[in-house]
Structure 1
Amino acid sequence: MSTNPLLEMQSYGQSIWMDNLTREVIETGELNQLIENRGLRGLTSNPAIFEKAINNSDRYDQAIQSGHQQEKSSQEIYESLVFEDIRKACDIFRPIYEESNGLDGYVSIEVSPHLAHDIKGTIAEAIRFYEAIEKENVMIKVPGTLEGFAAIEQLISRGINVNVTLLFSVDNYRQAAWAYIRGLEARVKNNQPIDNIASVASFFLSRIDTKVDKRIEQRIRELGTESLNKSMRLRELKGDVAVANAKIAYQTFKEITASSRWKALEEKGAKFQRLLWASTSTKDPDYSDVKYVNELVGEHTINTLPPTTLEACADHCDLSPNRIETDVDEAYQLFESLKHPDIKINMDEVLDELLEEGIEKFVNPYDSLLESIENQAKQLTPS
């Protein structure tokens, strides 16, 4: 067995992807090294990642200046920059895509976060991105909103790989899974192949614990010191909700993939829509920095790690097969306990809030980046 936990992961049925993409990691060869030495099998990106990449590097300056001279809008310049990075990353991951028969080797790019509640706009932009990038191993990220689910079904039916992002609730994950299945069924009905299409369902983790932990602390303050037993009971829940939620989602995945509708598609070559653990960097310093890696190893899953968590896991992850299947009854009991009058945490409300906040966390850097590109273009272009 390898001494690098990241290289063990694949033998446990889980793939490691990285939640980061910059021109620097492509051009310096760092991405190739991560594939070779860290077992990297795929890559995701989002507007926040590109904002940091473009604003913190001069590697994009020439392209920004050229785009401005060609009188391109800031959005057109942005797309030209990220499309180039995505294409190059897709080429680097192409051998993994081919070796795994289309299971891994994907690079994800997100549609504009402004389209999160726009079905037609999401479909149109996803198709445009897919056709412009022209890489079989690109995945288009679509948020897990009510409108997003309708778009996902249509995109899968058109043969476009989809990464369903910003999933927080198990109910929303279930809708994403059935949208994928309906899209595949539409292709079967039209006598189109389904063995060359992939999708992942990105289930967010650390943001759940951050928000729930704050509510627990607020509830403890409301109870006061006279209710010490209740306070202690509440503190025992801190840091456990996100993993419990993921374990319940995994049981839902097993339930769906055991259904007759899925089995009929699987016989025709359909690939699992794998659960992808996202938001895996630990926000609370009191928790292990590899908390959302160690506890969520499972077959037919992906863990997408930011660079710092990737390196932390390479150094000190403690892995064992199918840990996602442990303490499942306790996970269900934990969610029941949140409804108790002493605790009173409405998880439906929490998860709905997280979805809308998640969209906003991509809208703000997206808008900021377009403004920054416009300002950079003016500064770089001689008057």
Structure 2
Amino acid sequence: MSSNPLADLSAAGVSIWLDDLSRERLNTGNLANLIAEHNVVGVTTNPTIFAAALAKGSAYDEQVRELAARGADVDATVREVTTTDVRNACDLFRDVYDATDGVDGRVSIEVDPRLANDTERTAAEALDLWKTVDRPNLMVKIPGTVEGLPAITRTLAEGVSVNVTLIFSVERYRDVMEAFIAGLEQAKANGHDLRTIHSVASFFVSRVDTEIDKRLDALDDPRAKDLRGKAAIANAVLAYAAYQETFQGARWEALAAEGARAQRPLWASTGVKDPAYSDTRYVDRLVVGNTVNTMPEKTLHAVADHGKIEGDTVTGQAAQAQEVFDGLVEVGIDLDDVFIALETEGVDKFEKSWAELLDTVTGQLNQAKG
């Protein structure tokens, strides 16, 4: 372990992406600084991030006034300001994208979360976002809901790179990987160059501990206390084992021979929510090659300051992870219900943030119009 944990993390094969984007970060040079000095090689956004960005400061005022003068409605304004940020971020990361042959230098933008349960409209919006941003290092985020799965396949089949979000269970993650492989097979049949199509699968981490710890604390069972804080890491370890199992064999090798690259696991929701836990636990304990860790800036700086990157902490740990899940079942945790609750809550949170974003922009448009 060196004196630079972020460099150690990168050297271990983990791509560091920032889980935040705003006009202010772009205009002040903050994001450029994180690229230059903190090993950041990508950015993810979501409706909550944009809602916070638009509600803060005056960075968007000039563009909103211009759009108001042109008669743009709220939906068109939101589309314009968010895709402008993402396009500019794509340009900022273009050197990283070129240097890594398209693996990193990626910027993600999410489809309207109100479409999470509408396959047709999700796929249509994903293609529209791809064309609107018009940058090769864009990734369109599509939720890994049941209705999102065929939209993922259709989007990939059109040659569009996809970040699948809101994945909580290993079972759903397997469905996501199947949707990815099917999408690449269709993309090949459609004549697309598979080398240009990339994907990550955003597997949420801290929210799993938050939900399961809450349920453990409600149990009158002495075994429950020992299981606190173990579920999220175990879940991610089992997800990585599923990834290793999926991307091998004749079906995958046929695509790899055409230049296809495996859909990388992305550890999302890695900011620690329980102060009883180390603020770097979802980074230090999820070190394994060919993965992404997308962090809030607070977590990024915590890792830089006192992270403990000590090599691969994931490979070969599936048996121990399964023991944790077996223990959870034994004390009465309904894991299926946990994952349903987390997915529902995740979609609901993004819909609420989108509504807040629309309200903020409506107010800004009204003010601009006098």
Does the Cα contact within 8 Å between 2:142 and 2:164 map onto a contact in 1?
yes
Q: 1:326 to 1:370 in 2, by over 3 A?
A: same
Does the Cα contact within 8 Å between 2:157 and 2:190 map onto a contact in 1?
no
> Is 1:234 aligned to residue 208 of structure 2?
no
> Is 1:91 aligned to residue 53 of structure 2?
no
- Match of 2:33, as an amino acid? Q
For the residue of structure 1 that corresponds to 2:34, the secondary structure is: helix
- Match of 1:46, as an amino acid? N
Does the Cα contact within 8 Å between 2:46 and 2:350 map onto a contact in 1?
yes
- Match of 1:51, as an amino acid? A
Q: Match of 1:127?
A: 127
Aligned partners of 1:126 and 1:280: how far apart in 2?
26
Q: Match of 1:286?
A: 276
Q: Match of 2:243?
A: 253
Does the Cα contact within 8 Å between 1:298 and 1:322 map onto a contact in 2?
yes
For the residue of structure 2 that corresponds to 1:324, the secondary structure is: coil
Pick aligned residue for 1:267 from 257, 265, 282: 257
- Match of 1:31, as an amino acid? L
Aligned partners of 1:113 and 1:148: how far apart in 2?
11
Q: Match of 1:51?
A: 51
Does the Cα contact within 8 Å between 2:158 and 2:190 map onto a contact in 1?
no
Pick aligned residue for 2:336 from 319, 326, 348: 348
- Match of 2:303, as an amino acid? C
Aligned partners of 2:194 and 2:249: how far apart in 1?
18
Q: Match of 1:68?
A: 68
- Match of 1:21, as an amino acid? L
Q: Match of 1:359?
A: 347
Does the Cα contact within 8 Å between 2:157 and 2:183 map onto a contact in 1?
yes
- TM norm structure 2: 0.98
Q: Following TM superposition, by how much is the alpha carbon of 1:327 offset from its aligned partner in structure 2, in angstroms?
A: 3.4
For the residue of structure 2 that corresponds to 1:108, the secondary structure is: strand
Q: Following TM superposition, by how much is the alpha carbon of 1:69 offset from its aligned partner in structure 2, in angstroms?
A: 2.1
> Is 1:330 aligned to residue 320 of structure 2?
yes
Name segments (4+ residues, structure 1) moved above 4 Å: none
Comparing 137-146 with 324-333, greater Cα deviation is found at 324-333
Aligned partners of 1:177 and 1:198: how far apart in 2?
13
- TM norm structure 1: 0.95
Q: Following TM superposition, by how much is the alpha carbon of 1:178 offset from its aligned partner in structure 2, in angstroms?
A: 1.0
Aligned partners of 1:57 and 1:244: how far apart in 2?
40
- Match of 1:83, as an amino acid? T
Aligned partners of 1:241 and 1:2: how far apart in 2?
29
String of CA shifts for 1:166-193, please: whole Å, max 9, x gaps: 0000011111111111111112234432
For the residue of structure 1 that corresponds to 2:218, the secondary structure is: helix
Aligned partners of 2:268 and 2:242: how far apart in 1?
17
Q: Match of 2:144?
A: 144
Does the Cα contact within 8 Å between 1:168 and 1:203 map onto a contact in 2?
yes
Q: Following TM superposition, by how much is the alpha carbon of 1:104 offset from its aligned partner in structure 2, in angstroms?
A: 0.5
Pick aligned residue for 2:293 from 300, 303, 314: 303
Q: How many pairs does the alignment contain?
A: 370
Aligned partners of 1:94 and 1:315: how far apart in 2?
28
Aligned partners of 1:19 and 1:86: how far apart in 2?
13
String of CA shifts for 1:36-64, please: whole Å, max 9, x gaps: 11000100000100111110120101111
Aligned partners of 1:126 and 1:2: how far apart in 2?
41
Q: Match of 2:174?
A: 174
Aligned partners of 1:259 and 1:349: how far apart in 2?
33
Q: Match of 1:157?
A: 157
Does the Cα contact within 8 Å between 1:103 and 1:271 map onto a contact in 2?
no
Q: Following TM superposition, by how much is the alpha carbon of 1:307 offset from its aligned partner in structure 2, in angstroms?
A: 0.5
Aligned partners of 1:28 and 1:21: how far apart in 2?
12
Structure 2 residues without counterparts, runs of 5 or longer:
none
- Match of 2:240, as an amino acid? Y
Q: Following TM superposition, by how much is the alpha carbon of 1:278 offset from its aligned partner in structure 2, in angstroms?
A: 0.3
Aligned partners of 2:90 and 2:34: how far apart in 1?
15
Comparing 238-247 with 317-326, greater Cα deviation is found at 317-326
Q: Match of 1:197?
A: 197
Does the Cα contact within 8 Å between 2:158 and 2:192 map onto a contact in 1?
no
Q: Following TM superposition, by how much is the alpha carbon of 1:2 offset from its aligned partner in structure 2, in angstroms?
A: 4.9
Aligned partners of 2:66 and 2:88: how far apart in 1?
20
For the residue of structure 2 that corresponds to 1:96, the secondary structure is: helix
Q: Match of 1:372?
A: 360
- Match of 2:105, as an amino acid? G
For the residue of structure 2 that corresponds to 1:325, the secondary structure is: coil
For the residue of structure 2 that corresponds to 1:195, the secondary structure is: helix
String of CA shifts for 1:100-145, please: whole Å, max 9, x gaps: 0011110000000000010100011011110011000000000001
- Structure of greater Rg: 1
Comparing 107-116 with 181-190, greater Cα deviation is found at 181-190
Comparing 366-375 with 185-194, greater Cα deviation is found at 185-194
- Match of 2:194, as an amino acid? I
- Match of 2:63, as an amino acid? A
Does the Cα contact within 8 Å between 1:156 and 1:162 map onto a contact in 2?
yes
Q: CA RMSD in A?
A: 1.1
> Mapping of 1:198-217 within 5 angstroms?
198-217=198-217
Q: Match of 2:78?
A: 78
Aligned partners of 2:346 and 2:32: how far apart in 1?
30
Does the Cα contact within 8 Å between 2:289 and 2:312 map onto a contact in 1?
yes
